[in-house]
Structure 1
Amino acid sequence: MPSLARARRKTAPASAEDAPPPAEGRRRGAVAGPLRRVGLRLLALAVLLGAWQAVVVLELWPPVLVPSPADVVDALVRTSTENDGVRGYQGHYLVEHLGVSLRRIAVGALIGVGVGLAVGLLMGTLAWVRVVVEPWVAFLRTLPPLAYFSLLVIWFGIDESPKIWLLAIAAMPPVAVATAAATASAPIALVEAAQAIGAGRRQVIRSVVLPAALPEILTGVRLAVGIAYSSVVAAETVNGLPGIGGMVRDAQRYNQSDVVILGLFAIGVSGLLIDSGLRLLERRLAPWRGRT
């Protein structure tokens, strides 16, 4: 009995403070991880801004080519306020330029994603459709947007239609390829099991193939939205004002590099926010990704 008591005293913690509950340790780790990532990203941003300011101070390039961070902030103020009776840049505030471009991207990407899902599903489930359609999808995927934008302008004029069509065409191939590959590689065992219990073709696709392919499909959607966003400057080369890409193109004509850099920052930051939203949606819709 004395030996048992001594063993218990050795294994028991000296006090409650010496042995924090496991749940508390997990909470601390859950908080420390995001804080560490945020700190590293802020540090990287500070280093980038410091290097940028050093380039300006050392005058490695003329200010017209590389404006200072203060000049870009000043451009942000100018394009977001009214100066001498002029609203923002070319009569529109920065947020209005960005909003118009986001609307174009949303409509074009939505059309491209919808068509890509339908085409990819047919390619992944019907072999003859894959043989016929896959070369054309690959052909469109390799074309840069500016290569066919001029033709779209000839067909649809210089209003909104060619811009929407360009973004839709740019967004369609990644979704089609990802959907076709994901549906074609659905687990054979699950498909055969569903067929064995009497499930029809549509039921198999709806209940087995699509859930298994959903994570890869969502990845294709993310890629498609990113490609559509990166094509917005090309889409707004013709009659692109108001629009963030049109603002960048117009400022480039007059060597307003501070406005150009401001527009690039606006595109990049809003693109990061959109991608973060899509990643969150992916985690909500396909929480089983990476799990067996």
Structure 2
Amino acid sequence: MTSPSPAPTAAVPVQEHLDPRVPPGEGSGTRPRRRAARRLGVRVLAVVALLGLWQLAATAAGNPSFVPAPRAVWDQLVRLSTTHEGIRGYSGSLLVEHLGMSLRRILIGSAIGVAGGLVLGVVLGTVPWIRVVAEPVVTFVRALPPLAYFSLLIIWFGIDETPKLWLLAIAALPPVAVATATAVHGAPADLVEAARALGASRWDVIRDVVLPNALPEIFTGVRLAVGIAYSSVVAAETVNGVPGIGGMVRDAQRYLQTDVVVLGLFAIGVSGLLIDGLLRVAERRLIPWRGRS
């Protein structure tokens, strides 16, 4: 006698998400998109709130030479980006040309400072007696404000491009040198000894062991150096700095054109954010292991 076959049961759908907080039907990419949308919304609201506070401050001040309204700064943006009533931009150069000249100076000066800082940092981190002698000098230069030695650079090199580039290079060198020296000096001793035991030369150890291990700290120093050079551009362009965004700001300050000054500050800040974003992207590409165990 055969037993009756069991009655067919309805298929139970497999729950796609084990997290009860996630509604059924949502994919794994939904939450990151929602978080990104929330962050974007918060930032937009913050910008709107800041613009509102700015407008209230301008209204309360009642003096556009003291606090210009957002509309006045916007009008200057339009005027300095075009040829208006026969006047081309500011002092004959458009806003983008002023910004481009400053970015060129920052790029050249930062490149010189970063290159010098890398070489000096490697030497300081690998040669103890040079570290003892030169480290106080690097710290001394890092503590000096840019305007403190800009006058000396003008005496040495004149008022053309050379003192500006030297100023930005000197401002960018110490952060890279300090970060590189610290990272190189703190390289894992076991890896260094293992490389030497395998027959690696001093240069091979530096190139294949020390520098890759120090790369995250070096990149942090590079970002700091570029930021310091960018913040020093106004000082670098105090003398014969037009065209240049810092020179434009200094020239507008003399004539109480506060709206032009604020516009120049916005141009410096926004372009600085974009440059730092590019450095972050480069950091993620060149150092993908940073922040991972």
- Name the TM-score, length of structure 1 as normaliser: 0.92
Bigger Cα displacement from structure 2, 107-116 vs 38-47: 38-47
Structure-1 separation of matches of 2:276 and 2:259? 26
Structure-2 separation of matches of 1:180 and 1:38? 39
Q: Deviations over 1:127-150 (max 9, x none)?
A: 111111101100100000000000
Structure-2 separation of matches of 1:157 and 1:41? 45
Bigger Cα displacement from structure 2, 246-255 vs 83-92: 83-92
Equivalent residues in 2 for 1:1-292, closer than 5 Å: 12-13=14-15, 19-20=24-25, 24-25=27-28, 27-57=29-59, 59-292=60-293
Amino acid at match of 1:46: V
Distance 1:13 1:267, change over 3 A: closer
Q: Deviations over 1:158-189 (max 9, x none)?
A: 00000000000000000000000011111122
Alpha-carbon offset, residue 37 of structure 1:
1.9
Structure-1 separation of matches of 2:135 and 2:91? 44
Amino acid at match of 1:54: L
Alpha-carbon offset, residue 56 of structure 1:
2.0
Structure-2 separation of matches of 1:12 and 1:219? 47
Amino acid at match of 1:197: L
Alpha-carbon offset, residue 38 of structure 1:
1.6
Structure-2 separation of matches of 1:13 and 1:111? 59
Distance 1:87 1:11, change over 3 A: closer
SS at match of 2:61: coil
Amino acid at match of 1:232: V
Structure-2 separation of matches of 1:260 and 1:98? 13
Structure-1 separation of matches of 2:283 and 2:62? 43
Alpha-carbon offset, residue 126 of structure 1:
1.0
Aligned length: 283
Alpha-carbon offset, residue 29 of structure 1:
2.3
Q: Deviations over 1:199-242 (max 9, x none)?
A: 22111111111111001100000000000000000000000000
- Name the TM-score, length of structure 2 as normaliser: 0.92
Amino acid at match of 2:147: L
Amino acid at match of 2:166: W
Aligned-residue sequence identity (percent) comes to 63
Structure-2 separation of matches of 1:61 and 1:202? 65
Distance 1:210 1:261, change over 3 A: same
Alpha-carbon offset, residue 196 of structure 1:
2.0
SS at match of 1:224: helix
- 5+ residue gaps in structure 2? 17-22
Structure-2 separation of matches of 1:275 and 1:79? 25
Structure-2 separation of matches of 1:114 and 1:13? 56
SS at match of 1:189: helix
SS at match of 1:75: helix
Amino acid at match of 1:37: R
Amino acid at match of 1:249: R
Structure-2 separation of matches of 1:56 and 1:146? 31
Alpha-carbon offset, residue 13 of structure 1:
3.8
Q: Deviations over 1:37-59 (max 9, x none)?
A: 222211111110010111223x2
Alpha-carbon offset, residue 36 of structure 1:
2.0
The structure with the greater share of residues assigned to helix is 1
2:20: which partner in 1? none
Structure-1 separation of matches of 2:116 and 2:104? 19
Q: Deviations over 1:75-128 (max 9, x none)?
A: 111111112222100100000000000000000000000000000010111111
